[in-house]
Amino acid sequence: MNDFDLGDFLPYQLAVLSERVSRDFAQHYRSRFGISRAEWRIIAHLSQANEVSVRDIHLRAELEKSKVSRAAARLEAAGYVTKTANAQDRRLVSLALTDKGRALMDEMAPIADAFQQRAMAQLGDDAAAFLAGMRALLHDPGETRDD
């Protein structure tokens, strides 16, 4: 016998919570806008910065680079994103939102904000500490290998 307690085990609880939250949120855009989770994540990412490479998203969004590559290809085909060779380093592909992509993001932003509001309400007094904890876990070195 051992004293392991699943109820407090971070990787497990985090995975359950994350999956549930992402699934719930995906209901708001999946069928309505016809984009997948990875595609949403890329669009959201691009809305925050001007020029982003596949690698940037791969590392920051914790998405397989092949997944990013294929999702970006789909988004380009749908007219939401442009892919251009980076002038400084021609190995890099610069991803950027088109006008259509920005319009999509503008339409999704209020939905995301509303969702966020509800989550914050659920957190109540713990909200600030929860976000602080998440940042601590995200930005601390930990033992994450970076490729």
Partner DNA sequence: GATCTATCGTTGCAATTGCAACGATGTCAA
Partner DNA sequence: TTGACATCGTTGCAATTGCAACGATAGATC
β-bridge mates for residue 84, sequence order: 94
Q: For a second copy, which is the closer residue by CB, 24 or 85?
A: 24
| Secondary structure (3-state) at 83 | strand
Q: For DNA, which is the closer residue by CB, 13 or 66?
A: 66
Binding mask 100-139 for a second copy (x = CB under 8 A): -----xx--xx-xx-xx-xx--xxx-xx-xxxxxx-xxx-
Q: State which of residues 31, 88, 99, 143 lies at the interface with a second copy (CB under 8 A).
A: 143
Q: For 50, what's the count of Cα atoms within 13 Å in the CB-facing half-sphere?
A: 1
Round to whole Å and give the CA distance between 132 and 71.
31
Q: Is 78 in the site for DNA (CB under 7 A)?
A: no
Q: State which of residues 13, 22, 27, 66 lies at the interface with DNA (CB under 7 A).
A: 66
Q: For a second copy, which is the closer residue by CB, 66 or 85?
A: 66
Q: Is 147 in the site for a second copy (CB under 8 A)?
A: no
What b/e string do you get for 63-90 counting C-beta neighbours within 10 Å, with b at 16 or more?
beeebbeebbeebeebebbbeeeeeeee
Q: Is 17 in the site for a second copy (CB under 8 A)?
A: yes
* DSSP string over 33-70: H---HHHHHHHHHHHH-S-EEHHHHHHHTT--HHHHHH
Tell me the torsion sign for CA atoms 121, 123, 124, 127.
Answer: negative
Name which of residues 28 to 47 contact a second copy (CB under 8 A).
37, 41, 44-45, 47
Q: Is 136 in the site for DNA (CB under 7 A)?
A: no
Point out which residues bind a second copy (CB under 8 A). 1-25, 37, 41, 44-45, 47-48, 60-62, 105-106, 109-110, 112-113, 115-116, 118-119, 122-124, 126-127, 129-134, 136-138, 140, 142-144
